[in-house]
């Protein structure tokens, strides 16, 4: 038996329980859909049912007219689209006031019984159908359904870092699904299947090119390529997804049409207005622009002594007549700064740049803020900028692609990390000002808010390089729909619909996924210090090697101690960017959490943690333990031989072996480095070279 992972969580394996299969056949033998369902998301929902049901229950549904329906059927359509839907909706249902909320309800009447999937928009109906199929794939009864759901976040977005030559920046799953050799793959069947995957987890926005927009990608907004970009947009539109593009801030210069990119120059303003008009003439529902400016050598308004508000608002004005958005990234810092000056702190950059501009941005501009103040490290505090600008729209940015967390060669289930971020209470408006509520627009009256993330998708057969990395992509969408889901619930759900119906497989994989983040952290970066990776590639250990640390390191280790002093009392003052309660907690050695100690403090190797261990012994112990935990899970995985299809079993086995070898490399290099720095031996007498 072979499985290359292409179907991901839309495998629709045959239902083994005869009773459930019979129930599903009864309720889905016939589909009654609104007459308008000839294209668009409802049409896509029907196609999905026609694909899924033969696999699940060996029965292809018949599409019938309302008047020709039998005594039991499935009715799908928007509110008020036909009588069966109207009868199902009795009384106020909160979810149905939302453009994307849906209702699944079983109706039993004297003359017929039917199952309704409905919502205010076609997009809502599509989400409801995917939910129904998810229930069936998990073996849940649909006999007496009464379920209404709506998403927590308005914008649920994916960012691709794909280049037109076919490469992907920070891509660990093959080449781009959109581009090859500066051509657009508009006829690739993968695009439709990718749209299906994204719609099934509720994604409603996708940017299809790299934020580091090179010259080739600039041409995506020209006469030559826009018609092909529009073909991508049409595919995504049929699955309820808006298409966005990353743009080069200096496109006016790159395309040789204006000799400046000054946002206050009328020629530049007019150029972007004409460009917006051109884009919307071929893509009427175009989502807008994603912009990285004045960071890591990218062009921006600083060149002209303007600020980020000037730059973002110029683009916002161009898009505003069409309802378009500008997502302006807050990943802004000077990569050439002198790290020998310990008062220069990259962690401060986003807050220092943007906080003074609160209230100056247009209402269709959204600041895109990374979850932490640095760069998607395995452990860092929540960015203090999130929630700190009550008068400026904001979205949280996560990273699904495992740039610093094993690059899809290591298992690292990121949902627990993201849950921790979302549950963080910023205190910006007192207790309850959690990140998850700020991102939902519940704390500040944002016109636009939500969450976005850099995806981990490429053209590998299994989409994500590592079969188990699919769990991060699936989990991201599910978490954005409902952040109250636990990490365990999401892991269980993904495993049940992606792997064989086996208790042994499901229990082992769920437990492994839930432990994997802490395993990866244990043999890599200790106590929040971060960055000890090979330059440029960001894979494997190089304690002093990060590319922007030629004037120093990010950990400031010497023979006396380790860590970055970010206190107000004697360091960079970064702690002051938090609300007073958190500022005080991080400022004090007594109250700073162990897992973030070295992010906030420079301490002696003999400093005793809350755990009772010294810092140096913690480093030794965790790095030895990390390798042992990988070895343990390799042995546990071997137990599933014969339970999991051969192709996936062999692939995961190979990746686990690579993870083991790399974890040993991390252990040996990190422990040796700090043994030689500190001169303090391992109290347990283990060999350190």
Whole-number Å distance between alpha carbons of 503 and 203: 30
Q: DSSP secondary-structure letter at 603?
A: E
223 tagged catalytic: no
Distances (CA, A) of 258 to 212, 252, 270, 338: 21, 5, 10, 34
Residue 344, pLDDT above cutoff 90: no
Whole-number Å distance between alpha carbons of 625 and 369: 34
What burial class does residue 367 get, using C-beta atoms within 10 Å of its C-beta: 0-12 exposed, 13-18 middle, 19+ buried? buried
CB 312 within 8 A of CB 362: yes
Share of the chain above pLDDT 90, in %: 87
Task: Give me the pLDDT at residue 339, please.
Answer: 47
Whole-number Å distance between alpha carbons of 437 and 460: 36
pLDDT tens digits along 611-658? 999 999 999 999 999 999 999 999 999 999 999 999 999 999 999 999
CB 205 within 8 A of CB 158: yes
β-pairing, 365-370 with 102-108?
unpaired
Cα 621–622–626 angle (5° rounding)? 120
Active site residue: 296, 358, 579, 594, which one? 296
Active site residue: 375, 437, 542, 587, which one? 375
Which residues neighbour 682 within 8 Å (Cβ) at sequence distance 6 or greater?
A: 617, 620, 671, 675, 688
pLDDT category of residue 550 using cuts at 50, 70 and 90 = very low
Residue 242, pLDDT above cutoff 50: yes
Whole-number Å distance between alpha carbons of 142 and 146: 9
Lowest mean pLDDT among 159-173, 300-314, 327-341: 327-341
pLDDT category of residue 536 using cuts at 50, 70 and 90 = confident
CB 159 within 8 A of CB 208: no
Task: Give me the pLDDT at residue 55, please.
Answer: 98
pLDDT tens digits along 266-289? 999 999 999 999 999 999 999 999
375 tagged catalytic: yes
Q: DSSP secondary-structure letter at 456?
A: -
pLDDT tens digits along 523-533? 998 999 988 99
State the residue for tokens 């409802």.
42
β-pairing, 183-184 with 72-78?
unpaired
Question: Residue 579: which of 429, 377, 413, 402 has the closest Cα?
Answer: 429
Token code pair at residue 666: 């991390």
State the residue for tokens 């261990």.
613
Token code pair at residue 486: 């636990």
- Residue 316: enclosing H or E segment and its boundaries? helix 308-319
Whole-number Å distance between alpha carbons of 304 and 298: 14
Residues in the chain: 689
Question: Residue 346: which of 582, 548, 586 has the closest Cα?
Answer: 548
For 519, how many CA atoms within 13 A lie in the half-sphere containing its CB?
Answer: 26
Task: Give me the pLDDT at residue 552, please.
Answer: 46
Which residues neighbour 609 within 8 Å (Cβ) at sequence distance 6 or greater?
A: 527, 594, 597, 615, 618
pTM given for the model: 0.97
Question: Residue 347: which of 526, 597, 600 has the closest Cα?
Answer: 600
Residue 342, pLDDT above cutoff 60: no
Share of the chain above pLDDT 70, in %: 97
Task: Give me the pLDDT at residue 680, please.
Answer: 97
100 tagged catalytic: no
Which residues neighbour 550 within 8 Å (Cβ) at sequence distance 6 or greater?
A: 339
Active site residue: 345, 403, 521, 621, which one? 403
Which residues neighbour 254 within 8 Å (Cβ) at sequence distance 6 or greater?
A: 215, 218, 248
Q: For all residues of the chain together, what is the average pLDDT?
A: 94
- Angle between helices 189-200 and 226-237 in degrees, nearest 10: 40
pLDDT tens digits along 35-74? 666 789 999 999 999 999 999 999 999 999 887 888 899 9
Provide the phi-psi class of 306: left if phi over 0, else alpha when psi is between -120 and 50, else beta. Answer: beta
The pLDDT of 558-570, averaged and rounded, is: 96
């Amino acid at each position: 038996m072979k499985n290359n992972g292409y179907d991901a969580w839309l495998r629709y394996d045959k239902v083994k329980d005869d009773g459930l299969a019979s129930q599903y056949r009864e309720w889905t033998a016939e589909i009654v859909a609104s007459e308008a369902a000839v294209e668009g998301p409802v049409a896509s929902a029907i196609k999905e049912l026609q694909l899924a049901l033969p696999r699940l229950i060996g029965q292809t549904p018949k599409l019938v007219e309302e008047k020709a329906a039998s005594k039991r059927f499935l009715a799908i359509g928007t509110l008020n689209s036909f009588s069966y839907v109207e009868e199902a909706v009795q009384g106020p249902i909160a979810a149905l006031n939302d453009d994307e909320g849906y209702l699944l309800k079983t109706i039993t009447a004297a003359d017929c019984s039917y199952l309704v999937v409905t919502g205010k928009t076609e997009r809502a109906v599509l989400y409801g159908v995917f939910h129904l199929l998810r229930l069936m794939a998990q073996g849940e009864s649909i006999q007496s359904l009464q379920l209404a759901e709506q998403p927590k976040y308005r914008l649920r977005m994916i960012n691709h870092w794909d280049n037109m030559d076919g490469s992907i920046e920070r891509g660990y799953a093959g080449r781009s699904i959109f581009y090859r050799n500066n051509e657009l793959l508009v006829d690739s069947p993968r695009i439709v299947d990718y749209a299906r995957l994204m719609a099934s987890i509720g994604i409603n926005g996708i940017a299809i090119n790299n934020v580091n927009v090179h010259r080739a990608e600039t041409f995506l907004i020209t006469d030559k390529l826009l018609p092909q970009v529009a073909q991508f947009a049409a595919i995504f539109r049929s699955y309820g997804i808006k298409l966005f593009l990353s743009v080069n801030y200096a496109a006016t210069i790159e395309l040789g049409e204006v000799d400046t990119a000054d946002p206050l120059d009328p020629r530049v303003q007019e150029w972007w207005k004409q460009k917006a008009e051109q884009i919307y003439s071929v893509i009427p529902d175009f989502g807008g622009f994603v912009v990285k400016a004045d960071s890591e050598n990218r062009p921006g308004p600083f060149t002209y002594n303007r600020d980020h508000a000037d730059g973002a608002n110029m683009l916002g004005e161009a898009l505003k007549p069409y309802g378009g958005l500008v997502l302006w990234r807050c990943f802004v810092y000077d990569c050439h700064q002198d790290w020998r000056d310990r008062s220069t702190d990259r962690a401060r950059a986003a807050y220092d740049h943007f906080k003074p501009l609160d209230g100056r941005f247009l209402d269709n501009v959204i600041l895109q803020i990374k979850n932490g103040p640095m760069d998607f490290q395995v452990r860092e505090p929540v960015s203090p900028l999130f929630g700190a600008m009550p008068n400026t729209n904001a979205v949280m940015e996560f990273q699904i692609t495992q740039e610093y967390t094993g690059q899809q060669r290591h298992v690292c289930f990121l949902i627990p990390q993201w849950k921790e971020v979302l549950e963080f209470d910023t205190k910006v408006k007192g207790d309850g000002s959690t990140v998850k509520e700020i991102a939902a627009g519940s704390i500040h009256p944002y016109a636009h808010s939500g969450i976005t993330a850099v995806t981990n998708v490429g053209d590998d057969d299994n989409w994500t390089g590592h079969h188990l990395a699919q769990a991060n992509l699936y989990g991201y969408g599910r978490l954005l729909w409902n952040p109250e889901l636990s990490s365990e619930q999401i892991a269980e759900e993904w495993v049940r619909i992606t792997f064989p119906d086996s208790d042994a497989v499901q229990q082992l994989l769920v437990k492994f996924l839930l432990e994997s983040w802490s395993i990866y952290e244990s043999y890599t970066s200790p106590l929040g210090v971060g960055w000890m990776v090979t330059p440029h590639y960001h894979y494997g250990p190089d304690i002093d090697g990060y590319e922007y640390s030629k004037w120093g390191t990010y950990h400031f280790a010497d023979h006396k101690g380790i860590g970055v002093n970010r206190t107000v009392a004697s360091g960079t003052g970064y702690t002051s960017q938090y609300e007073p309660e958190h500022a005080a907690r991080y400022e004090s050695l007594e109250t700073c959490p162990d897992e973030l100690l070295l992010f906030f403090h420079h301490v002696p190797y003999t400093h005793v943690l809350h755990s009772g261990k010294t810092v140096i012994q913690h480093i030794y112990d965790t790095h030895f333990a990390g390798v042992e935990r990988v070895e343990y899970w390799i042995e546990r995985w071997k137990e599933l031989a014969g339970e999991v299809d051969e192709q996936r079993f062999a692939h995961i086995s190979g990746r686990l072996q690579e993870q083991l070898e790399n974890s040993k490399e991390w252990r040996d290099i990190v422990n040796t480095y700090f043994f030689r720095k500190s001169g303090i031996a391992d109290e347990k007498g283990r060999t350190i070279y």
